[in-house]
Structure 1
C-alpha cells in the first residue's frame, strides 16, 4: 500500500528548515524576537508541540536562544565569524583598520556589481528607498547619518543574494558598529564630508539602478578610497595633536 502515516517529526523538521532558511537569507536578523508560540504556530500552520520540537532543535544548533519569560530570539550567530581574541587584536593595531577598509573596498565593489547585475526590481527599490532617506531634507546628527549610511550599504549587500557575502559583511559591519575599527561618525563630522559622501552614494545608487555592474563597482571603490583617505588624515591630525600638546606642556614647564 503506497500510503504511509505522516510522521509529526517530519513536520517539525520542515519548520526547522524554514526558520533556518530565514536566518540564512538574512531575513531574520540576530537579536530579532520570534513571534509568540501560539502566533508562530498559527502562521506556520502546525501544532504547538511540532513547533516546540523545531525550536528545541534550532536552539541545540545555536541558531535561536530562548529567554525565560521573554520568548525565542535569533542568536547572535554573526559574532562567531571572528573570535573575541582576534577582535581585541584588531582593535589594538592600526594596520588592521586599513586592511579592513581594503577588504570592504574589494568585497563591496563585488556586491554592488552583483546587485546591479542580478538584483530583483524589489531589491533595487529597497536600495533606492535607502538612498532617498539619505537625500531627505532636514538637519540630522552625525549619528543619524552614520546609521542611514549603514542601511544603504547593507541594502546593496542583501541585493547581491549571496549568503556568504551577506553574513560576512554583516559581521564586518558589526565590528564597525561596536567601534572596533573606527566610528562612522568621524567621517560625517568632517567639513564638506556630507556633500562629498552624498555625491558618492548617489553615483553608487545611479549605477545600480541603471544595472551597470562596472559603474557600480567603480563608484564603490571611489567611495571607499575617499573613506580611507579621510581616516588617514584624521589619524595624522590626532598624532600631530598629541605632539603639539607635549610641546605645549614642555614649554609650560620652562616658565
Structure 2
C-alpha cells in the first residue's frame, strides 16, 4: 500500500472518529444535559476507552487533517476555481487545522496532560489585546455566521450527497442524517458567531465560546432538537467513513520529490 492509499485509509478512520465525537456530544446532551464540544467529547472517550482508543482516534484525526489540508492545497476533491470552489477550499483549510489540533489534544490526553480550558475564550482574549482586536474578533464572528449559513444551505440542497457512492446517496437514511446534521451544525456555528460578535463589540473575551457554550445557551426543547441533529451528523460521519468517494492526495509524488532533492 503506497503513502496516498494509507492516507486515504486514515482519512476514513478520521471520518469515523469525527462521527463518533458528534454522537458522544449528542448522547451527553440527551442523557445528562451536559454540553460539550468535540474536544470535550474526546476527553470523555479518553476517560472511558483509555489509551488505545485515544491512539486510534489521534491517528484518524491526523489523517483526516492532512487530507483536508491537501484538498485545500491541491483541490483533490475537484471544487474548481470559481468563488464557490475557493470557499470550499478555505473551509477545507480551516477543517484541516481544526482536526490536527484535535489530534494534538488526543496525544496530550494520552500523555496525561490536563485540559487547558476554553481555547475559544482564551484565543478571543488574546485577539482583543492586539491593535484592532475587537474588529478582528467581530470579523471572526461574521465569518462563523457565514459558515453557519453555508451549512444550512448544504442541508437544504443536500449537496453533501455528491461525495457519496450514488447507490447510498439515494437512501433516505443517508439523506436525512446529513440534512439534520448539517442543519444543526449551521445553527451552532451561527450561535458561536453571535458570541464572537458580542465579545468583539463589548471587548470582553468572556463573552466568546465554542460549541459547548452554544449548546449550554440553548433552552429546552431547542437543545434536544439540536442534539438530535448532531446525532444525525455523527451517523452521517460513519456513513462517510464507509461510502464517501475519496480522491487520493498526491503524497507519493511529494515524497519522491523530497527524496530526490535529498
Indicate whether the TM-score tops 0.5: no
Compute the TM-score of the two structures, normalised by the length of structure 1. 0.29
Structure number with greater CO (CA < 8 Å, separation at least 6) is 2
> What's the TM-score once normalised by structure 2's chain length?
0.28
